[in-house]
């Protein structure tokens, strides 16, 4: 995240109302994605397939409109993009299944847990121990997750299984991010997203067929909405906004996603939370903010 660290000797990021609106709008768009998944009359994995399949042509159009390179990559770049697509497809499949089984707030928080895994992988690569803030992030994540998982088990076994699917999605998303580190260093964001999404499409198709779930929708608007919000608007606005903010501010803005998920879960599906739920959510959310603030 160039020019977004606030480190001494580097320029502080500058932002205005438009950048802030993009930051918040991107998080809102991503937060409503789980609602579209539940509204779809296809299976959850099939919804993931349509989410990407419908968005890919528009992603390539955006890459070309921004004059980003979309061909002529090296063999190593193609392999990294292909591998990332496999992780991305499995991530979406696992997360969408979890969305159907657990509370929307849990799904949103656990689905974003990849930041913590990326830190752990980075520490291993650097051969160094975690610093104070990183230790605190891990401790808060573990304690908060234990609270939320315990509450899910009280609700029912199915809800706990949904949580585990969403946690698995967070792990898979971390693999996706790590594999794309080098391609993202020299390729445009839209081109990378277009090709990694393209590589994920056959993974989701295969997973949907193996699961033998409903594939062809009778009603298209939830899937079109999912593609436009989760894959285009949300990603696009955050890509535009992220270079204008420090990682800490970006991480704090991330907290709008679980807040919106709580409201949608209550209004649309009657999902209610008690005090201990908010404690667990606050701990996991704080861990994600700390993870974002130390992501360099």
Averaged pLDDT score across all residues of the chain = 87
Evaluate whether 13 touches 4 at the Cβ level (below 8 Å).
yes
Alpha helices in 214-293 (DSSP H): 221-226, 234-242, 247-254, 256-269, 275-293
Task: Give domain status of residue 2, yes or no.
Answer: no
How many domains does one find in the chain? 1
The answer, yes or no, to whether residue 25 has pLDDT greater than 60, is yes
3-state percent helix, strand, coil for the chain, nearest multiple of 5: 80, 0, 20
Task: Give domain status of residue 128, yes or no.
Answer: yes
Task: Give domain status of residue 9, yes or no.
Answer: no
Predicted local distance difference test score (pLDDT) of residue 6? 36
Q: Whole domain around residue 258: which residue ranges? A: 17-293
Task: Give domain status of residue 12, yes or no.
Answer: no
Q: How far apart (Å, rounded) are the C-alpha atoms in residues 164 and 150?
A: 12
The answer, yes or no, to whether residue 7 has pLDDT greater than 50, is no
Confidence of residue 4 (pLDDT cuts 50, 70, 90): very low
Q: Average of pLDDT values for 58-65?
A: 94
Task: Give domain status of residue 240, yes or no.
Answer: yes
Task: Give domain status of residue 60, yes or no.
Answer: yes
From residue 236, give the alpha-carbon distance in Å to each of 29, 59, 62, 194, 249. Answer: 10, 9, 10, 12, 18
The answer, yes or no, to whether residue 290 has pLDDT greater than 60, is yes
Predicted TM-score of the model (pTM): 0.87
The answer, yes or no, to whether residue 113 has pLDDT greater than 90, is no
């Amino acid at each position: 995240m160039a020019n977004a660290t606030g480190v001494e000797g580097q320029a502080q990021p500058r932002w205005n109302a438009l950048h802030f609106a993009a930051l918040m709008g991107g998080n809102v768009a991503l937060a409503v994605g789980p609602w579209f998944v539940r509204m779809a009359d296809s299976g959850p994995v099939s919804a993931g397939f349509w989410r990407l399949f419908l968005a890919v042509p528009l992603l390539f159009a955006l890459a070309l409109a921004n004059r980003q390179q979309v061909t002529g990559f090296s063999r190593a770049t193609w392999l990294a993009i292909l591998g990332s697509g496999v992780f991305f497809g499995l991530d979406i499949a696992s997360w969408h299944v979890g969305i159907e089984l657990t509370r929307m707030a849990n799904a949103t928080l656990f689905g974003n847990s990849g930041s913590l895994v990326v830190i752990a992988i980075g520490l291993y690569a650097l051969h160094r121990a975690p610093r104070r803030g990183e230790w605190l992030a891990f401790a808060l994540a573990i304690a908060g997750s234990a609270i939320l998982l315990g509450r899910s088990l009280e609700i029912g076994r199915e809800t706990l299984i949904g949580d585990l699917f969403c946690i698995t999605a967070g792990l898979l998303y971390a693999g996706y991010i790590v594999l794309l580190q080098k391609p993202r260093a020299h390729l445009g964001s839209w081109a990378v997203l277009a090709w990694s999404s393209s590589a994920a499409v056959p993974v989701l198709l295969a997973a949907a067929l193996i699961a033998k779930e409903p594939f062809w929708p009778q009603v298209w608007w939830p899937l079109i909405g999912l593609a436009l919000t989760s894959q285009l608007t949300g990603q696009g606005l955050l890509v535009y906004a992220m270079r204008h903010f420090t990682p800490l501010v970006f991480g704090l803005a991330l907290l709008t996603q679980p807040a919106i998920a709580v409201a949608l879960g209550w209004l649309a599906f009657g999902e209610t939370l008690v005090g201990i739920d908010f404690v667990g959510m606050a701990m996991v959310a704080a861990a994600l903010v700390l993870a974002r603030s130390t992501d360099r």
